Amino acid sequence: MESVVRLAISVGGSALVAFVVCRAADLLARFADARHPETPLWGLLRRCRTPLYVVLLAALLRWTYPVAAGRGPAMHTEAVNRVLLLCLIGAGAWLTVRTVAAVVESTYARYAGRSRDAARLRRVRTQVTLIMRVVSVAVGVLAAAAALVTFPSFRTLGTSLLASAGIIGIVAGVAAQSTLSNLFAGFQIAFGDMVRIGDTVVVDGEWGVVEEVTLTFLTVRTWDERRVTLPVSYFTSRPFENWSRGGAEMTGSVFVHCDHTTPVALARAHLQEFLTTCDTWDGRGWDLAVTDTSPTGITVRAIVTAKDADDLWTTRCAVREELVGWLAREHPGALPRVVTAPAAQQAERDR
C-alpha cells in the first residue's frame, strides 16, 4: 500500500510541477507578446506548451520514479525508465522542431514586414520552407538514432555494422539514385532561385501558380483549381516558362479575324477608349495593328499589358469580347464572311 501511495505522489507531483512551470512559461510568453507586438516570436513560442509539458513530465518522472518504486523489481523499474527515456527523446525532438519553426517564422515575418520586393519575398519563403523541412527530418533522424541507442542490442548491432558502412552506403546510393537526384534538385531550386512559391509557371502546356515546394516534389495549382505534382528534378532537367522571373508584369495578344473592309483606325480608337475603363489593364502599353492578310480577310492583333498573369487573362478576354461586340454593332460588314457566290465576271461568262 505504501508503494502505491509513493507512486501516486510521484506521478501527481510531477504532473503538477510540470503544469505549473508550463503555465508560468505561457503567461510569460503572453506578457512578452503584449509588450512587443512588433515581433510574432512570443506568440509563436506559445505553440511549444504541449511538448514542453511532456518533456518536463518525463524528466521529473525519471527522477522521482526510482525513489517512489523503492525496492520493486529491477526489471520493472528498468522498463519504465526506458519508456520514460524514449518519451523524453521524442518530446525533446518535438520541442526542438516547434522552437526552430517559431524562430524561423518570426524572422521571416519581420523580414516580410520590411521588404517590398515580392520576388525576393517568394524566394525567401521557398528557402525558409525547405530549411524547415530539412531541420525536421534531421531532428527526427537524430531522435530515432538516440532512441535506438538506448537498447543494448542495437548498440552492439551498430558496432558490428560500422565496418561495412561504406558498402551499405554505396548500395543505398545506387538503389536510391532517383530519390537522391530529387533531393539535390530541391536544394538547387531553393537556393538557385529557379522556382519560388507564388511564381506563375507553364508546365506541360498548362499554366499555374507554384503552391508548394518540398525537397522531392513541387505542386502547381492550375487556373481551374487542379493540382499538378511534379518531381523537382523536372525543373532542373527540362525547359519551362516562369512568368514571374524579372517581375510579374506581362504582355498579351488578342487576334481577331476580320473582313478587308474593317475600319482599322476606328477600331484602334475604340480599343484605346475601352482600355481606359478596364480595371485589369495596368496602363503600361497597348497597340492594334493588322498583322496578316489573306484572300478572304485580314488578321487584327491587339496588344495589352497587365500586372500579372491572372489580370492579363482577364484583360485579353475583355478586349476580345469588346472588339467582336463593337464590330457586330457598329460595322457588321467587317466581320469575316465566307464567299459562296461566283465572281461577277465568271457569272457573265457563264451566261
What tens digit of pLDDT does each residue of 217-240 get? 788 888 888 888 888 777 777 788
Grade residue 342 by pLDDT with cuts at 50, 70 and 90.
low
pTM score above 0.75: no
Same domain as 327, residue 283:
yes
pLDDT in tens, 13-38: 888 888 888 888 888 888 887 887 77
Domain count, the chain: 3
Q: Which residue has the higher pLDDT, 103 or 173?
A: 103
Instruction: Tell me whether residue 80 is in a domain.
Output: yes
Q: Is the pLDDT reported for residue 119 higher than 70?
A: no
Same domain, 210 and 306: no
Residue 188 CA to residue 194 CA, distance in Å, equals 8
Give the 3-state DSSP-derived string for 162-212, with helices as H, strands as E and coil as C: CCCHHHHHHHHHHHCHHHHHHHHHHHHHHHHCCCCCCCEEEECCEEEEEEE
- Residue 339 inside a domain? The answer is no
Domain that holds residue 7: 2-114
Q: Is 76 exposed, middle or buried (0-12, 13-18, 19+ CB in 10 A)?
A: exposed
Task: Name the band, by pLDDT with cuts 50, 70 and 90, for residue 324.
Answer: very high
Q: What is the pLDDT of residue 181?
A: 60
Q: Which of 242, 272, 290 is the last residue of a domain?
A: 242
Average pLDDT in the 284-303 region? 91
Please report the pLDDT score of residue 290 as a whole number.
93
Cell of 272: 484605346
pLDDT reported for residue 185 = 65
Grade residue 302 by pLDDT with cuts at 50, 70 and 90: very high
Is the pLDDT assigned to residue 74 strictly greater than 60? no
Taking the C-alpha atoms of residue 58 and residue 65, their distance in angstroms, rounded to an integer, is 10
pLDDT at 308: 82
pLDDT in tens, 128-142: 777 787 788 888 888
Q: Does residue 279 lie in a domain region?
A: yes
| 224/270 same-domain check | no
The larger pLDDT score, comparing residue 262 to residue 46, is at 262
Q: Give the number of residues written for the chain.
A: 351
Q: Are residues 198 and 225 in contact, defined by beta-carbon separation less than 8 angstroms?
A: no
Retrieve residue 14's grid coordinates: 510531477
- Of the chain, the end-to-end C-alpha distance in Å amounts to 126
Alpha helices in the chain (DSSP H): 2-35, 41-45, 49-69, 74-114, 118-149, 152-161, 165-175, 177-192, 233-237, 264-275, 309-330, 344-350
pLDDT score for 236: 75
Asked if residue 263 and residue 210 are part of one domain, the reply reads no
Q: d(Cα 113, Cα 336) in Å, to the nearest integer?
A: 54
The C-alpha angle with vertex 20 and arms to 17 and 24, in degrees rounded to 5, equals 140
Q: What is the pLDDT of residue 43?
A: 78
Determine the Cα–Cα distance for residues 161 and 167; give it in Å rounded to an integer: 10
Q: Let me know whether 233 and 190 are in one domain.
A: yes
Residue 77 burial class via C-beta count within 10 angstroms: exposed 0-12, middle 13-18, buried 19 and up: middle
Q: Last residue of some domain: 242, 259, 278? A: 242
Question: Taking 70 as the threshold, does the pLDDT of residue 155 lie above it?
Answer: no
